Each structure stands twice: as structure tokens, then as C-alpha cells.
Structure 1
Amino acid sequence: MWIHIRTQTSLWAKFMYGIKCKSQHPSLISKKLGDSRIWTNMLKIREIAEDMYTRDLGNGKVSFWLDNWCPNDWLGPSPSDFNPQLSVCDLWDGDSWDVPKLQSILQEPHLSQVTKTVFDNGKKDRIICHSYTNQSLTKAIYANLSEWDKVNWGEAIWNRFLSPSISFFCWRFFNNLLPTDDILKLKGLRGPSRSYLCLKSEENNNHLFLNCEFAQDVWKELLTKIKGENLDKDWSSLKAGWHSWKMANDALEDELIAVYWALRFAQKVTWQKVWIEVDSLQLITLLTTDQLSSWHHMQWKQKTDKLYKKFKVQMSFIYREGNQPANWSVDLEVCVGVVDLIGQR
């Protein structure tokens, strides 16, 4: 999107350029109160995007000091009083460089390097991606940005079992991009300080989906189905549980994590008797005996043992063929560690 603005190849790009960059060069623009989230993020990646391409000189309608039309070391450090509006074509004399004008702003060896740059003022300036001359601009951008940090919930929302609209909604939720009141205020939009539904708290993601009395009615109906009434609904704990699975080192640790979070769930809904079915004899042996294992197994065993004391727990083995939830989850590549949990209050 940033490169589209710089190349002015669409009506949207020309519109955004006229609004945001009318009086300043794009590289000098700073974030302002009220800027949209999209524009703010574009400014964050601006430096990365600018380094991805250079300009092949045509009519020279590019900034001499601020645009990438030659290697940075060719110009040397820009003077403190440089003119950001100075275009490359302002330093031309017909089909060649105007050496006297260049001498007024450049010294050797920079002067000689710049005068060697060829141009064709009968054509328009164009963008060439660095080291990607055999790729499209879109592929070049993806190649440079695809190594950004990944999140542990990405695979859960971007899959073939969810429609694109639901996946995009979840993505906006996890990135705090839904237009709730607290987000709109950050953009400079004045609005009500209370939720439209309950008129008791400021609207934000956690309130809207978890803590609002209307949301709690939905949760209560769900909890009734699973024989629970006081589940502590907190996204931080849900995210922590998901992250634990993604960080597991092996299948046994997956199973241990599944048992731990299953018991945490039982604790939240105040179950007293718990029957756990697993398809791993190794897991049953580790949890019911004094057998030792590697440190990353033992840390989850210790956490699970503390929860064990709060229930009457029965653990039994079940073959994978009989553990339909586990088979379904493995087929979906959701996780390896799945247990059947039956509770009684």
C-alpha cells in the first residue's frame, strides 16, 4: 500500500497522497492524532518499504535528497539546510546534468558519481525492486515481509473450516482492531464513555464479548449445558492455554498440558469428581506413579499434582479409535494432547 502511494498508480493512491502528503514529502510525514490505524501501520513499515526499491530515472520528478534514485553513499550526508522540494530534473540541462548547479550542493567524489547516472527524460520515472527483477512487485513485498513474527493463534483462525469473514473478524479481535469505543477514542473520535448495551462500563473487547451482562447471559446458557456456573472467563488465561500447547516439545508434553488445562477447567466449574480418559499409557504411568522424566515433563506433572489434590480423580486408558475428540482434533491439526473429561459436582 505504501509503494502504491509512492507510485501514484491508482485513484486511491492519488487521493491518499493529496490528503496526507500534499505539503510534505512522504518520508517526512509523522503520525498525528486522529490518524487511522491503517495509515499509522503504513508509517511504521515506511522505512522497510522504501528500502525495497530504487527509482529508474525518467523525467526526474523525484526528490533529489529524499527519494531512492541512486545509492545512498553517492550523495553523501545531506546539508542541514537542504531543500526537500528539490527535484532531480531541477539539476538537468536538457539531456545532461547541469554541473554548475551540482557543484553548488555536492563535492567530489559525489559529484562525479552523480554525473555518471544516465536518464531518459522522455519517459516517466519507474520503480525497480531490489534484487527482485524477475518477480512482480507483490511477490517482492511478500518476500521481504513474510519473515515477521508469527502469533500462536494464527493457525486457529486461518483454516478451511472457517469462512473468510469469520477468520477476518477473529483476526481483528485478536489485534484489537474492532471499532469499539476505546479504539475510536484513540483515533480522536469523541463518543459515549459507556457501552450501548448495559450503560455501565466503557466498551472494549473484553467487556463486549465477556464481561457485559448481555454477554454473560450467553455464557451462562453455554455453561448450563456443561454443568458449570462460575467459569472465570478471561482471554489472558485462554491465550495462555493455547500458547502452552503451541510451545510443547513432544506428544507426551502435549498430553500433560491437556490434562492440566482440563483440571483447571474442572476447578473453574467447581467439579468435585473427575474422570479422565487418555490414550497414552505412558501418561497414566507418569501421573500415577513416582516415575521420573525429563524436566519439561516434570514441570507439568508438578502443576497437575497440585490440582489433583482438589478432586477425586479417576484416570483410565482408552484406545485412540474410541477417543473420537482426539481423532477429530488430530485430523484438523489443532493439537495432539486431547483428553476426555467427565465431571460431577
Structure 2
Amino acid sequence: MISLNIPQHLHTFLKAKVKHFIDNHAWNIPACLLLAYPDLHSLTANITIPLRDNVDRRCWKHSHDGDLTMKDSYCFHCITGQQFNWSKIVWNIDIPPSKSMVAWRSLQNKLPTDECLALRGCHMPSMCSLCESDLESNQHLFLTCRYSQNIWNWLSSCLNFNCQFNDLKEAFVLCNSSWSPLCNLIVAAAIVNCVDFIWFARNQSRFNDKKIHWRSLINHIIAAVSLSGNNSCLKAKSNISEFALLRKFKVKMNYGNAPKIKEVLWQPPILNWIKCNCDGASMGNPGSSACGGLFRDANSSFLGVFSYNIGISTSLNAELIGAMVAIETATSKGWSNFG
């Protein structure tokens, strides 16, 4: 009615339904209506008529199924607020809210640093309480101060990632899908606690005249992250990189349930024979590759082992090289009964 510009006072007289203008699954609009409303033909031409007869009903075009819910109407009329990708990372159920609050205020530039107080009209001589060599601002205190950089350099060594950021919000990019849920928590907790304890060290220096060495601060960060990780039920992946990360923060590894458990039994070779179990693998195809093998006799006694770093290669090539090295090793040892 709105598209055809039908006057409001005529709406109550419109009693016909859509099904009255459909005949044999095709539009059948009276000529008088097409003459009165020329745009009606173009409007109906863009509407596909279903092959099956359906009951007429009102549909909400802004939803995928045509149903209108209270949530749909609210989202349609409300003003979209700011969306922060880091908000759910900071406010984590396994991170104490007191620490999340400090990180959140820092990300919003709401902490009472000298720069922020000056913007509010409270002017005072400014000096960073940690390095005592520059004006105190949110950017300087948490990112460019020598004291803070020592903390971030330590975190870089733990994560094997460069933690030099232009903005504190960039730090939370480290929490990504490549990590398991437990390691994502550890990374988030480490970043939040780094911010919290830097602010703690600043307050201790300014108000209590107590200097805390940055290495002591690292011990506090590890203890806080360990508490968050060990109290969590999240799972970790079974790989060496995540194991090393969790070990650095003294967090026990929660393994996920195995999708399928398959029993594998090793059988010794027949009498007077030697068996070699060899394998090759690559990280990527091609990628960093290596191969190795283990020799045992009919009594399951250990006879020898080998391992070689092949470099950049494919998994097939690593498998073949592993088999060839096993044969060469057996030949050099004079093991003729070898398999």
C-alpha cells in the first residue's frame, strides 16, 4: 500500500488477499488495477510465486524466516553501539574482575595517569614513576617505558612472538584460533596481568615510595596466570608448543577427550631376525622434515636408534629417506636378517 501510494483513508476498504490475484500459480491482476497503479506490474514481476499453495501470513523481511520476535524488533530500532573485539577477551570468567577492570580502563584510556588528569583540568608536574625519565601517559606507561618493555620482552620470549605494540589493543590479537581454548586463556590472562601489575608497580612507586624490580613483577604475573589456568576446565591441544607455554606459566595441561582410541600392539620379529620401526614426517607439505627409526631383536632388546633432520621436504620424501637410512644402517652393522 505504501509502495503504491494508496491514500490512508482507503486502507480499511482493502479486503482482498494475495491469493485472490493468483490463478494457476501465475499473477492474475485485473486490468483496472494495472491501469490505476502502473507500478503494480513491475512490483509483482519481481515476486516468485511458490509451487505449493501456502496460507497468507505477515512476514518480517528483516529476519531469515519471516518471524518477528522481540529481539528482532529491538535490534531493528535500537542504535548500534560500539563493538570491541577485545571486550570478551578481557572480561573472562577465569580472570579476576579486579584485574580485568584495570585492563579495561587502560584500553579506554580512563586510568588516572598524569596525561588523563591534565585533560580533566588537574594540571601537575608529570614524570613516569617507573623510569623517571619521561612524561607519564597511558601510551608511555604501558608500552614505551623501559620498565614496561622489559615485561613485554619477557612475554615475547614465552610466546615466541614479538610483543612490541603501537596500541595496547593490538596485544589481544595474540588470542586467535591457532591456540587451544586453554592457551587462549593463558595468553589473555598474561596480557591482562601484565597491564595490572605495571599499574600496581607504578602506584607502589608513586604513593608508597616502594620500587619493585621488573623481575619480581614477572613472578607475580606467573602466579596470577597460573591461578587462572589451573582453575579453568578448558582443554589444550596435545602438541609441544602448547605444552611448553603452559609449563612456563606452571599450568597443568587439560587434555581433551580422544575422538577415537585405537589399540596398537608391537610384535617382536621371529627368532634371529631384527625389526626396525621407522617413520618420517614434515610440518607442511613441503615443510621442515625429519625421519627416525628404532632397532630391536627377537627378545625385544634395544639395538640402536637413528634420527635425521632432512630440512625442507615432503612427507613422502621423509618416509622414503627413513626407510633407506634404516637399510643402510642395518647393512653397515652386518644385520642380514633384517626387516
Give the TM-score of the pair, scaled to structure 2. Answer: 0.28
Give the TM-score of the pair, scaled to structure 1. Answer: 0.27
* RCO comparison, higher one (Cα < 8 Å, 6+): 1
Greater Rg over alpha carbons, structure: 2
